[in-house]
Structure 1
Amino acid sequence: MTTSRHAALCFLLAIAMPTQARTPDDMERPFDHYSWVTAHNAFTSNGLVPNQTQTIETQLAEGVRGLMLDLHYSQGRVRLCHRICNSEGSVAFADLLNDTILPFLDSAPDAIVSLHLEDETTSAQLALELEKAPGLSGRTFDPQQWSTPAWPTYRQLRDSGQRLLIFSLNEGNTGDFPTGGGVAHILPSIVYTVENYWSLGTTFLQHDYTCRSRWAEQSHWLGQRAIDGKPGWRPLFTMNQFHGVAFRPHAIIDNSFENLSSRYMHDCRPIARRKPNFVAVDFHDVGDTAKFAEWLTLSAPDEL
């Protein structure tokens, strides 16, 4: 498709797509063929420099299906904090799960949610925290329980009840964790995902659209085609599109359909050779991220 035809198609689709992301009508494709709005630092709506201005409860209600969360140990609990915990109001991870994430999954039986953890805790600290969330038992995705030749379909995941995928950048804090009601499973991000470098630049005055891997390992590049031990399964691709310092007025530019689709088509797709599964942005409610994710799911070709 020529650049001009692609631009015209994107414009028409951006007008037609719904404002909020939604559960797909077609649930028969493997899970890695879908794309989701993902909220960077989803927990910072009340922070001094927020990355979102809605609570996680509202984000989920508006169709966000990926949540990026930072975990730190403070005041005897594992809490959601950005870099350090200096707020008495910081929410404990198990409380978020018990009070928001699991009730949402109960109220939206077709929804599948992914958590992307930047975890600075120890394994022992995290284990103690997860023991406080017995409702996680049987709800987290464990790939070792699946023998499918590719990712399970959306419908298979939904019907299995494993509708919460938890990825962690802290490889030491992955695997099975006991909860008060059973076992919860956490996936190592570096095995099950690929992602581009997280920042467009420190401030909104900088725009580095190059789509290089977040990780330095040469073997872990965006175009990686398979997961070790799971032939036929591709790592899920996170396309990060945000700045080091969040600035809400500029999100209308970063999150515009034109900028998102242009970066995907011209910078990320030639390297990743596929569409992103998680489109991670600041201020998800500003701009066209939901329309872009919907367009990716419905219209964008999946592989080069």
Structure 2
Amino acid sequence: MWVTLVTMRYLPAVAALLLLPLVPATANAAPSGTYYITSVRTGLNVAQSGTGVALHRPKGNEDHQQWRLSDGRFENTDSPGQCITRQLTMGSCSQGDTVHEPRQFGDQWEFFGLGSETRWYLTPVVNRTEPMPQDPRLDQMTFLTAHNAYANGVDGGFAPPFINLAKNQTRGIVQQLNDGVRGFMLDIHQTPDGAILCHNSCTLVSKPVALNVDVQRIVDFLRNNRSEIVTVFLEDYVSADVLRGELRRVQGLNDVLYRAEGVRENGWPTRSQLVSANKRLIIFTDHGKDGREDSGVLYQKDWTVENHWSMGSGLGTSDWSCYSRWDEKPLTATGTFQPLFVMNHFRDVPFGSTATADNSKLANRAQQFCQPAARKKPNYLSVDLYHLGNAAQAVQQLNSYVYRP
């Protein structure tokens, strides 16, 4: 009885202790430093907009989106002395109503509401990194990826002759593999001959190439290079039956095909685990679930996040903003495992001079724009004309560290 009474006596205190992790932090516990303020729900950033604030697409340091946080005040780095008031206007930081009370909930914060958004990430503007582990997980690695890898003018035709001039790549799949490309974006369309690689329509395509031909090239490469990992991204316009039939024609595919078993429970495997199991080819499809996953392909929206595919037209200035391709899934999305981040870095139309300039800035955009926008390091850097602008150097740079938001 005494034990029971003592237990009952202290039960409120015990319950209070159990609830401590859920108690919001006070303003005094709020971090100091320079941050992006990102909506948890949408992935949009708080930006100074005239005399107020608004939610904009993440754009690094180009759109008044960096905020210096100190003592509960949010000062815009582009407007020294100007802070966010409780009325969500910009006012002198000396005003009392510029002091907010950030409350922390895990890696999320509450301090003001903007529209329907009340939960925020605070992502440091200065990247926080750690050295790359000796045996990194798949979500810690970065791979050079060829946008429209099939549209190269070497392996075969991909569009009517008058469009074949606008090649996304100028080297065939085999040479791309030998050059270090490890991600391949392929468009497939349905024809009486099966799944054919082409742009928009396969009508009038000269020397069409079937999907199984390029996948076989990749499987043969993996057979001869036992430590390599390759990923294929399908822009998929064929039926599930056609895709299954096409993949059945690839000899040795099932020996190397990775099906992501256990990832939801345990996270992504390490490089050595993939190599040891000999499961070194990942195939994603953007096609909705209709049973095609039975053939071993993975529905991309379930496993990745991806930024909008275009930086603008083929010439002129580019748009470096980094926001999700899918409105319903922000780049910051996470869960029981870390989604792989596919970073697109190309224009609507490929031109050699533009691709050279863009690719030379690939590491800068990845680290200063897209990495904080996603709160994760890009795992696939997708570019046009990958051999120009030294995109491989950007991949090497990202593979030297692990990013910590």
- Residue number in structure 1 paired with 2:392: 290
Match of 1:223 among 307, 319, 332: 332
Does residue 1:35 correspond to 2:137, yes or no?
A: no
- Are the aligned partners of 2:309 and 2:346 in contact in 1 as well (CA < 8 Å)? yes
On the 8 A contact 2:363/2:395 being kept in 1, the answer is no
**Per the alignment, in what secondary structure is the counterpart of residue 175 of structure 1?**
helix
Q: Over residues 189-244 of structure 1, what are the superposed CA-to-partner deviations in whole Å (9 max), with x where a residue is unaligned?
A: 11111011000012221411110100121xx1101122xxxx2x211001110001
- Aligned match of 1:97: 215
CA distance in 2, matches of 1:66, 1:204: 25
Residue number among 355, 372, 385 corresponding to 1:270 in the alignment: 372
Given candidates 172, 182, 187, the residue that maps to 1:65 is: 182
Shift of 1:268: 1.3
2:403, 2:211 → 1: CA distance?
34
Once the two structures are TM-superposed, the CA of residue 126 in structure 1 deviates from its matched residue by 1.1
Equivalent residue letter for 1:294: Q
Please give the residue correspondences for 1:1-304 in structure 2 after superposition, counting only pairs within 5 Å: 28-46=135-153, 47-85=164-202, 86-98=204-216, 100-144=217-261, 149-172=266-289, 174-177=292-295, 185-217=296-328, 220-226=329-335, 231=336, 233-256=337-360, 259-299=361-401, 301-304=402-405
Post-superposition offset of 1:270: 2.1
Q: Return the offset for 1:145.
A: 5.2
Aligned to 1:16: none
> How far apart, CA to CA, are the structure 2 residues paired with 1:147 and 1:45?
36
Equivalent position amino acid for 1:246 in 2 = P
User: Deviation string for 1:3-31 (max 9, x for gaps)?
Assistant: xxxxxxxxxxxxxxxxxxxxxx9651211
- What is the match of residue 12 of structure 2? none
Retained in 2: the 8 A contact 1:27–1:155? no
Pair 139,145 (structure 1): closer, same or farther in 2 beyond 3 Å? farther
CA distance in 2, matches of 1:78, 1:200: 29
Deviations 1:102-154 (A, max 9, x none): 11001111100000110111112112212212421131111125686221001
8 Å contact from structure 1 (residues 171, 189) kept in 2: no
Q: Does the 8 Å CA contact 2:283/2:297 hold for their aligned counterparts?
A: yes
Q: CA deviation at 1:266?
A: 2.8
TM-fit CA distance, 1:74: 2.1
Counterparts of 1:148 and 1:212, CA distance in 2: 28
Cα separation, 2, equivalents of 1:146 and 1:120: 27
Contact 2:195 2:246 in 1 (8 A): yes
Per the alignment, in what secondary structure is the counterpart of residue 38 of structure 1?
A: strand
Partners of 2:247 and 2:399 lie apart in 1 by 33
How many pairs align?
264
Q: Give the 3-state SS of the residue equivalent to 2:373 in structure 1.
A: helix
Q: 1:146 to 1:261 in 2, by over 3 A?
A: closer
Higher RCO structure (Cα 8 Å, ≥6 apart): 1
TM-score (norm 2): 0.62
Asked if the contact 1:35/1:276 (under 8 Å) is kept, the reply is yes
Deviates more, 1:200-209 or 1:167-176: 167-176
Distance in 2 of aligned mates of 1:245 and 1:75: 29
Q: Runs of 5+ in structure 1 lacking a partner?
A: 3-24, 178-184
Displacement of 1:166: 0.5
Distance 1:97 1:235 in 2: 24
Moved more, 81-90 or 261-270: 261-270
Letter in 1 for 2:142: S
- Aligned identity (percent) is 35
SS in 1 for 2:144: strand
Structure with the larger strand share: 2
CA offset digits 1:38-87 (Å, max 9, x no partner): 00000111133100000010000010000000001124221111111131
Q: CA deviation at 1:262?
A: 2.5
Aligned match of 1:20 = none
Partner of 2:27: none
Structure 2 gaps, min length 5 = 1-32, 35-131, 154-163
